[in-house]
Structure 1
């Protein structure tokens, strides 16, 4: 640990190093253990520390009286200890009664305390404390407030809002404030490099980088707390804009690199596609035809297609993907379709087999369960090129999987894959240093504002119309106290020759408990509905058995399918017209919409029953209200983005997915167009600013876009 901060008078003749090269170990009170904890949060340099912004602020600039306290307030109060008590019982606690001489009193309650605290907090001692006001059994109270014993000399009240930083175990807020004090002192002497040109910043009227950082770390007394909490202040806009520019520069550079790579020209002669279309019992929608033409033109080019295919539930994305696959196969190339789960890959195999078998094309299926001789035979078929269409899960990018001439990669539910998985599959094709074409599909519509921001390296195709004849799905929410009525409704639907789903949800992190819930539900429904043929599907049922149940349901040999959320995507049974979702309050909007989309695929009026367990939280009530009122997946995606933010909608828990530190594509969408223009300008006129900009905001994470 060093006693002198960098840039101090110890070496006055040496130039101050750049803030992005000063390790945090050079700051006071940062030894190896603290440096390791900071490193967990990506804070390794003084510049990293400055860009690690508070996520909220406390107002300790005024003292509140005890008489004016309200439940839920976070306030600073001062008073004298009147009484203390050590209470036993189920949970021992140390209670301190505080009075400021006015009406009423305040209890301070400590469940964790030391002998030193008990000795120090005696009647007559004056305290200043900060915390959240709660309603206790007999009076207002604060649980584990921050406090300071007041001496005879009055301690000055804070003159600025107090920042609270995202932290990790072992780093207290006082430590963060001490470290950022040192970083801000260095900032006042050595500003970080300005990565955005004046001609970009001037028209926007945004503060300088130094002004923005200083303001956000130490807001002045007159700062509007709501502007800071909701990140509407121009200081936040300044950093959000720079982060958006960094992402756009990175994605545009990535796109340019992709366009410099060769790809096989897959024009095809149209024979297989014509045979498939002639055999369909329906016509494609105009939206499907438009998207098919966009993809066909890309496949005919000499550069790798990078196209994101979006469409609402039931819009017909799979047929579009099948036609793209046939164009590649017509051209002599192989096609790989990768899905995130074995169940979804099974469903794709069944769907494609129905279309491709009459064309004498047999899809090869490769998943983790294939072992021994069976796996060796499949690998040989792929390596020799006999397998024209290969489908599977992450098993497709294992080292022993070698393609003869992979020309097209189709990735379904792409946000569930990490970047390295996608890159490894891409590296298996193209030949002669080239790359295969890629079609990336998502069954979760992404709001356009978000797509413009995070998928700027991809061309976007949207199927924005549903096939004709689809009826609106009537969605209702009922409490689980009416479960018997819902069971009767299932019996009625099945008696009329229709089929139904009953989806059990539990805790996302516990697949085992969710499967147990589904098994118990299936048993109870079998007792209540003795004449109904019931099947069960969940993630722990072995693949062949699960596939057999799904096939029986699709063939109409089962009336009711009890399942976990494994049926969220890919299941298409037109005769199913009733969906029951238990505990829908535990699911997000996108997942609810996907599950609901398993019905409504025929011409009969379909219903979705949300069987919730009261009482509902405010957020859950809002989600269920939205899913009942909204039909369009794109409208739901916009509402989902507004409720949960970009990180959750994109699934940032997956390795390599884009994550924003300050910017929010919904809140800051007014900055996106300017960020795109700035990125174009920097790439052409200021190439020396590209690396510092990307390093500041993305670092090694720039790889997320390398699909």
Structure 2
């Protein structure tokens, strides 16, 4: 007897080649087929009289064949003229046809035809409709329920997909399907089986408006289970991590008080609250995994400094990992500035160091002399050994893969506390679903005196007007960024674009020091340029998006972004955040190439209207979806079978309630849920 867990290759007539194609859709078993839901439906449940036909509507008609005609032109057409008993007429037009089709259309025969009604020169038409000649005993098109239309892959027809799904549904009727969710909802929602059968073959009287909007109770039942299962996976990870051994810090404020006294600014209430939340975790015997998020310029760095001071007070090591050398260098500069007066030894590791420098820094790390270690990906290489790593701080965490983070934490004797930071605010819906295993601290206020950046959109055709603007700002003693972008992900092309802009600006601003920085330069060259810019030796820096994060030059007050329509909202907001860091009023000019798409117009308008990173992040999520926002490293979490984090955000709270209930279930029930909703190759995203 067939089982719902059987592989799809067990279906008669479905060969290895087709099986491989279906695997690309995530379909490996008969159960996967029953969860492969239609993306729309056709209504063939009744025959529509031609007198009731509407233009652009899909309808099923039953008519008589009056005559056929082949139009003799370069692109031959087969025309089939039909009529009903009231002499209403319809023309079937075929641009591609066979001799068999032509012979099958016989005057006087009765035909059922389904398709979209169009208005032609001679009246109503259907082009390449689905049809059956019922008077020749062909199976009628009339169906008892709405007809599902499924997402397909290359080499698989709609008819074949329907056939395979229907075979799988027949097996489902006779199969037991673990439905733990029905138990915890106390049958307040439809069962899993009932939901699936309804969504594959809804009756005509079902609320199609609800189904199209994914608001039908049967869809909501599946969506909530999927969202809850994803959260369950993360909560299981969190529970397993909490059971690991870690070093509980004894909180000591000696160094913290010294640092606080040395600061020339006061911490905001939000920063103080976040420091307390982190300290509470550090004092626990359970390993911390906390997400620290805040808008551009909200002051995450100083919060991280207070965290690592607690590690130093307990004679442990703390590691800070950044995705780029520019950002790592910036951290080195900032952390040194804060920690110098506390006599805390800092080590720095990057890929561009020479052998001697690297050996010296690694010796400081291995001996434990360096209590604070800052670096790039170089930190998690096998040759790097820590004496007693107990706190890991990861900046711009979404730019690191899961395995990269794991390889750094594995360098600790006991599971280290982890603080992951992002300057890209994460919408609440993503935090609740994708980061459900992390505790979250939010810096939701900016330091006093922080300038809001004025944002202006300007057509590329007005580029020459910016020359005078740049001269004026430079005469006032302030500096300028000019950022170049390209659609292609080619560093060579980006550099070429920057070079053309650099030549244009250099020739028009000969009295200014104009310098270019891009990804093709060596790391040491980039460092020299950035240092010169920070020290005010460069008036105008022409750059690719390498300056997106980590660059802190308070004297820079003008940001110009070329072809801004090609970048996402969050990235543009990050770039804009490179200015407005001093006391002077700052401007960000978003240049664009006409004509703008509707999406690009929306993005630029949102940036012109708001400096609120959290609102911008939410809009970015709505416009681009979770896969784009999270990046390739996190797409295993973002891609779901039925649920959509943006569309279904209103169900996340309910899903959170049920995920906690699922955590109480048996291992067997939990496994059944996870195997159903999370592809095996994606489960490793939950290991960090």
Please classify the TM superposition score into its range, dividing by the shorter chain length: 0.7 to 0.9
Q: Does 1:190 align with 2:175?
A: yes
Task: Map residues 6-405 of structure 1 onto 2, 5 A cutoff.
Answer: 6-7=1-2, 17=3, 19=4, 21-57=5-41, 82-84=69-71, 87=74, 117=97, 119=99, 153=136, 155-157=140-142, 160-202=145-187, 205-267=188-250, 269-370=252-353, 372-405=355-388
Segment of structure 1 superposing worse, 454-463 or 74-83: 74-83
**1:462 equivalent in structure 2:** 442
Q: Deviations over 1:554-582 (max 9, x none)?
A: 11111222112222111111121111122
- Cα distance in 1 for partners of 2:98, 2:331 equals 67
TM-score (ref. length: structure 2): 0.88
Q: Does 1:624 align with 2:575?
A: no
* Partner residue of 1:615 out of 595, 606, 613: 595
Any idea what the Cα deviations from partners look like across 1:308-365, whole Å, max 9, x if unmatched? 1010111011121122122212322111122223333233233323333444445333
| SS at structure 2 position matched to 1:291 | helix
Bigger shift: 629-638 or 53-62? 53-62
**Equivalent residue of 1:610, what SS?**
strand
Q: 2-side partners of 1:382 and 1:50: how far apart? A: 55
My pick for the range that moved more, 279-288 or 640-649, is 640-649
Q: Counterpart of 1:505 in 2: which secondary structure?
A: coil
The separation in 1 between residues aligned to 2:519 and 2:462, in whole angstroms, is 28
**Which secondary structure state, in structure 2, belongs to the residue aligned with residue 491 of structure 1?**
helix
Shift of 1:543: 0.7
Any idea what the Cα deviations from partners look like across 1:607-646, whole Å, max 9, x if unmatched?
1111111111122212222121122111112222233333
- Counterpart among 426, 435, 444 of residue 446 in structure 1: 426
Q: Distance in 1 between matches of 2:523 and 2:632?
A: 29
User: 2:646 and 2:490 mapped to 1: Cα distance?
Assistant: 32
Counterpart position of 2:494: 514
Distance 2:51 2:531 in 1: 68
Aligned partner of 2:540 in structure 1 is 560
Structure 2 contact 43–204 (Cα < 8 Å) conserved:
no
- Could you report, residue by residue, the CA deviation over 1:6-53 in whole angstroms, capped at 9, with x for unpaired residues? 54xxxxxxxxx4x2x312121122222222222233322211222222
- Matching of residue 650 in structure 1 with residue 650 in structure 2: no
Asked if the contact 1:651–1:657 (Cα under 8 Å) also holds between the matched residues in 2, the reply is no
How far off its partner does 1:440 sit?
Answer: 0.8
Distance in 1 between the 2:624 and 2:72 partners? 43
Q: How far apart in 1 are the matches of 2:454 and 2:639?
A: 36
Deviation at 1:181, TM superposition (A): 1.2
User: Aligned to 1:550, which of 524, 530, 539?
Assistant: 530
| 3-state DSSP of counterpart to 2:663 | helix
Greater mean deviation of Cα atoms: 36-45 or 239-248: 36-45
Q: Is the 8 A contact 1:415 1:657 kept in 2?
A: no
Question: Residue 422 of structure 1 aligns with which residue?
Answer: 405
For the residues of structure 2 that align with 1:344 and 1:60, how far apart are their CA atoms? 60
TM (norm. structure 1) is 0.86
Question: The residue matched to 1:684 in structure 2 has which SS?
Answer: coil
SS in 1 for 2:482: strand
8 Å CA contact retained: 2:90, 2:125 = no
Q: Cα 1:588–1:100, aligned 2, differ >3 Å: closer, same or farther?
A: farther
Q: For residues 195-240 of structure 1, what are the alpha-carbon distances to aligned partners after superposition, in whole Å with 9 as ceiling and x for unaligned? A: 21434243xx422111211222233334455433432221211111
Name the SS of the counterpart of 2:23 in structure 1.
helix
Q: Give the whole-Å Cα distance in 2 for the aligned partners of 1:107 and 1:535.
A: 64
1:664–1:355: structure 2 CA closer, same or farther, 3 Å change rule?
same
In 1, distance between residues paired with 2:6 and 2:555? Answer: 65
Q: CA deviation at 1:676?
A: 2.5
- Unmatched segments (≥5 aa) in structure 1: 1-5, 8-16, 88-92, 111-116
- How far apart are 1:544 and its partner, in Å? 0.8
* Contact 2:243-2:286 at 8 Å conserved across structures: yes
Shift of 1:492: 2.3
Measured against aligned partners, the alpha-carbon deviations of 1:124-146 in whole angstroms (never above 9, x if no partner) come to 9699888889999xx99999x67
Structure 2 distance, partners of 1:227, 1:510, is 44
Q: Which moved more, 1:497-506 or 1:353-362?
A: 353-362
State the alpha-carbon separation in 2 of the partners of residues 492 and 267 from structure 1: 55
Which of 508, 512, 515 is residue 528 of structure 1 equivalent to?
A: 508
Q: 1:380 to 1:185 in 2, by over 3 A?
A: same
CA contact (8 A) 2:298 2:443 kept: yes
Aligned residues: 673
Unaligned runs of 5+ residues in structure 2 are none
Question: C-alpha distance in 2, partners of 1:551/1:648?
Answer: 33
Q: Check conservation: 2:402, 2:633, Cα contact below 8 A.
A: no
State the distance in 2 between where 1:128 and 1:195 align: 45
Task: Say if 2:118 and 2:126, in contact at 8 Å, map to a contact too.
Answer: yes
Deviation at 1:546, TM superposition (A): 0.9
Deviation of 1:657 (Å): 3.8
Q: 1:68 to 1:415 in 2, by over 3 A?
A: farther
Q: What are the within-5 Å matches in structure 2 for residues 655-666 of structure 1?
A: 656-666=636-646
Q: Distance in 2 between matches of 1:170 and 1:427?
A: 45
Q: Is the 8 A contact 1:66 1:104 kept in 2?
A: no
Residues 576 and 599 of structure 1 are in contact (CA less than 8 Å); yes or no, is this contact kept in structure 2? Answer: yes
- The change in CA–CA distance for 1:493 and 1:669 in structure 2 (over 3 A counts) is same
Shift of 1:165: 3.5
Are residues 183 and 386 of structure 1, via their aligned partners in 2, closer, same or farther at CA, if it must alter by over 3 Å? same
Closer, same or farther: CA 330–29 of 1 in aligned 2, 3 Å: same
Question: SS at 1:196's partner residue?
Answer: helix
Whether the 8 Å CA contact 1:66–1:106 is kept in 2: the answer is: no
Contact 2:80/2:105, CA 8 A, preserved across alignment: no
1:97 deviates by 6.7
